[in-house]
Chains A and B, each alone.
Chain A
Amino acid sequence: MAGTPVLLGAPAERPRPRPPLTANATLVGREHLTEDVQIILVMPDDGPLPFQPGQYMSLGLPYDGGWLQRPYSPSGSPGGVPLEFLVRQVSGGQLTPRLWATNVGSRLRIGPAKGIFRLTPDDRRAHLFVATGTGIAPIVAMAAALTRHPAPPPTIVLHGVRHEQELAYRDRLQRWAAEAPRFSYVPAVSRAGPGSSPAAFHCGRALDLLPEVWAGFRLQPDGVIAYLCGNPAVVDGAAEWLVARGVAVDAIRREEYWATT
C-alpha cells in the first residue's frame, strides 16, 4: 500500500484554506439519559444539513478566541431538523463539560457531514450492526434508512451498554423490531442494576453475545455486511471474531469512538 501513487482530483479542485468559522446553529433541546449521557438537539440556521446515515459532523463551542470542535454522528434521518446527537460527557474533557454547561438557546458551530462509515445502496446481505455506548447513534441513522427501504435486508442491531439507562433510542429500535419486516434489536447490559428490568435486555457484553446472535440468526459469512461502532476494543474484538468466522475483511465496516477530550 505504501507508495501507491493515487491522484484524485485536479489541482484546481483542491480545497483552499479554511475561512474563519462562525456560529451557524442553535442548541434547541436536550434529554438526559444519565448524568453523563444526553441527547442534544441542534437547529442549523440554514435548515437541514445534507448527510448520509453513518457520517459525522463537528460540533463546536466558542473557546479561547477560536472554536473547540469534536465530531458526532447525527442519529436522525437526513432532511430532518433539529439534528439529534448522542453525547457522552468525558471526565476531564474539553468540549463535553462545556457542552453540559451550555444552555438551550446558545449558539454553536456545526460542520459539514464527513466520513465514509455509510451504507452501500441496495446491499442485499444481512446487515449486522454492533454498537457500544454512544456508538449507537450512526447505527440508528443507518437502521432508520433500512426500515424505509422498500425491500429491506435482514437487519440486526446489537447494542451493548453498561447500564440500562444508556440504551439510547431503545423505544425507536423496539418499535422497528415490532413493525419493520426482518428487523431485530438485541439490547445488552453488562451491569444490570437493582432497579433494572433484565427481562427487557440481555445481560452481558455485546462482544460476548456476538456468537449467540450469529447462531441465532443463522448468519452466513458470505451473506453478511457488518457495521461496528463504538469502543475500539469491542470494535477490534468483533472484527476479529467475524473474520475468524470467515467474514471477508471488506464486509466489515468500522467506526471507532476514540477517547476524545
Chain B
Amino acid sequence: MTYVVAAPCVDHNDQSCVDVCPVDCIAADPGPDRKFYIDADACIECGQCAKVCPNEAILVDRELPGEWEVYAAIDAAWYRDPAIARQQVDTLHPA
C-alpha cells in the first residue's frame, strides 16, 4: 500500500504534503514537473499528506477511483525515469 498523488495536484501543486511527510518521500523536480510524486518504496502510509492536501489530490492506492488508478504507475515511474512520468502527465493533461 502507498499513497498516490492524483490529478487534482496537476498545475495546482501545493507543498503542504511535503511539509508534513515524516520520511521525505514526496518530491518533484524544479521546473519540469507539474505535480508531486510519492515514492512508494519509502511511503510509510501514515496518511498525513492526504489530510493536509488542500486539493484532495492524495489517496491511498487501493481507494483510487478508476480514472485515477494510472497515477499510481505515474508516481512509481517518476522515481525510475522522470521523463516518462512527465510525458504521461502531459498526455492526460494537455497544456
Which A residues contact B (CB, under 8 angstroms)?
1-9, 11-18, 56-58, 60, 66, 69-71, 111-112, 114-116, 258, 260
Pairwise interchain contact B30-A69, C-beta atoms closer than 8 A: no
Given contacts A2-B56, A6-B12, A258-B46, contact A15 B28 (CB under 8 A): yes
**B19 CB–A CB distance under 8 Å:** yes
- A185–B23 CA distance with the chains assembled, in angstroms: 33
- A2–B28 CA distance with the chains assembled, in angstroms: 22
Given contacts A4-B54, A5-B12, A9-B15, contact A111 B31 (CB under 8 A): no
Q: Which of B8, B14, B30 contacts A3 (CB 8 A)?
A: B8
Pairwise interchain contact A17-B54, C-beta atoms closer than 8 A: no
Pairwise interchain contact A6-B55, C-beta atoms closer than 8 A: yes
Q: Which of A1, A15, A114 contacts B56 (CB 8 A)?
A: A1
**B77 CB–A CB distance under 8 Å:** no
- A8–B54 CA distance with the chains assembled, in angstroms: 11
Pairwise interchain contact B54-A18, C-beta atoms closer than 8 A: no
Chain A residues with CB below 8 A from B18, complex form: 15
B22-50 near A? 1/0 per residue, CB < 8 Å:
11111111110100100101101011100
Pairwise interchain contact B46-A114, C-beta atoms closer than 8 A: no
Given contacts A14-B33, A258-B46, contact A6 B54 (CB under 8 A): yes
Pairwise interchain contact A17-B47, C-beta atoms closer than 8 A: no
- A199–B18 CA distance with the chains assembled, in angstroms: 46
Chain B residues with CB below 8 A from A260, complex form: 44, 46
Pairwise interchain contact A18-B27, C-beta atoms closer than 8 A: yes
Pairwise interchain contact A69-B15, C-beta atoms closer than 8 A: no
Closest to B54 in A: A6
Pairwise interchain contact A18-B24, C-beta atoms closer than 8 A: yes
Determine how close the nearest CB of chain A comes to the CB of B30; give it in whole angstroms.
Answer: 5
**B2 CB–A CB distance under 8 Å:** no
**B52 CB–A CB distance under 8 Å:** yes
Pairwise interchain contact B52-A69, C-beta atoms closer than 8 A: no
**B79 CB–A CB distance under 8 Å:** yes
Determine how close the nearest CB of chain B comes to the CB of A114; give it in whole angstroms.
Answer: 5
With A16-B30, A18-B39, A57-B22 known, 14 other A-B pairs at CB within 8 A are A2-B55, A2-B56, A9-B15, A11-B30, A13-B30, A14-B27, A18-B25, A18-B27, A56-B22, A58-B22, A60-B23, A114-B20, A116-B52, A258-B47
Determine how close the nearest CB of chain A comes to the CB of B78; give it in whole angstroms.
Answer: 9
Given contacts A3-B55, A6-B54, contact A115 B29 (CB under 8 A): no
- A256–B56 CA distance with the chains assembled, in angstroms: 19
Closest to B32 in A: A11
